[in-house]
Structure formats: structure tokens, C-alpha cells
Amino acid sequence: MSIFIDSGIFIAFSNKRDVNHEKARVLIKRVAKKEFGSPITSDYVFDEVITTTFIRTKRIELAIKIGNLILGKDPKIPKFIKLINVSENIFLKAWDIFKKYEPKNLSFTDATIISMMENYKIVKLCSFDENFDGIVGRVF
């Protein structure tokens, strides 16, 4: 059993000023203990996390810190997240998902998450994003 981790969890975790920071901190601890299964995220989510963290905080060190956490390069925290790259097949399926769920206002990265979850048979998503409701099961 696996759980996919969305960017909002990492972004809130890295930014103490984020409204969801405390929730993200608790969730990351639970995810690291594999309470919901083996945690997985993607290169697209990684990009979104690093970019958004830097843009919102203007602090490169926070972007680097959260990037190191995701990559398992934080010397204080053992690697616990598997990072998977979006393949061409997942990308093309995501494009169809993006168009199909147009009324949900999903980002293309969100569509890649759904595509990956379907491809890897992942049934739970750790996310604060309500746009996923009705599409995938969400833990928040």
C-alpha cells in the first residue's frame, strides 16, 4: 500500500507562516512512520514545491531544505519518500485527465498526480487541495 504526497503538504511543512504548517508537520511525521503506506511523490511535485516555497518565502535555504528532505539528503532525517519521474505515458494520460476534469480547476501537475495514482494503483493522496475530492481518496 502506498500514499501519494502532494506539494501543498511539503510547502506548508517548510513554511512556518503557512496556515497549514502545523497540520503538515503532524502529517509528515505520520507519513514518515508509514502510517498510510509507503510515501511516493513525483518530479513534477518536487518542482512545484521548490518553486512555490522559494517564491512565497524568498528564502532559498528553505527551498533547499525541503528539497533535501524529499530527496532523502537531510542528514537529520532518513530517506522516507520515493520520488518517481513522470513518464511519457503518464504525461499523455495526465493531459486527458486535465481536460476531463476542467470544471475542477486542477493544475496540470494535479492531473499528473491522478495519472500516477491510477498507474501505480495508489488509492490515497495526502493533500490539502479540495479539488481532488470526488476523484481520489484524500488524507489531510
Separation between Cα atoms, residue 37 and residue 97, nearest integer Å: 25
Q: Confidence class of residue 140 from pLDDT cuts 50, 70 and 90? A: confident
Backbone dihedral region of 77: left (phi > 0), alpha (psi from -120 to 50 degrees) or beta?
A: beta
pLDDT tens digits, one per residue of 56-89: 999 999 999 999 999 999 888 888 999 999 999 9
CATH superfamily of 2-130: 5'-nuclease (3.40.50.1010)
Contact by Cβ (8 Å): 131, 104: yes
pTM of the model: 0.93
CA torsion sign for 30, 36, 37, 40 is negative
Q: How far, rounded to the nearest angstrom, does the alpha carbon of residue 129 sit from its chain's CA centroid?
A: 10
CA atoms within 13 A on the CB side of 87: 8
Domain spans, the chain: 2-130
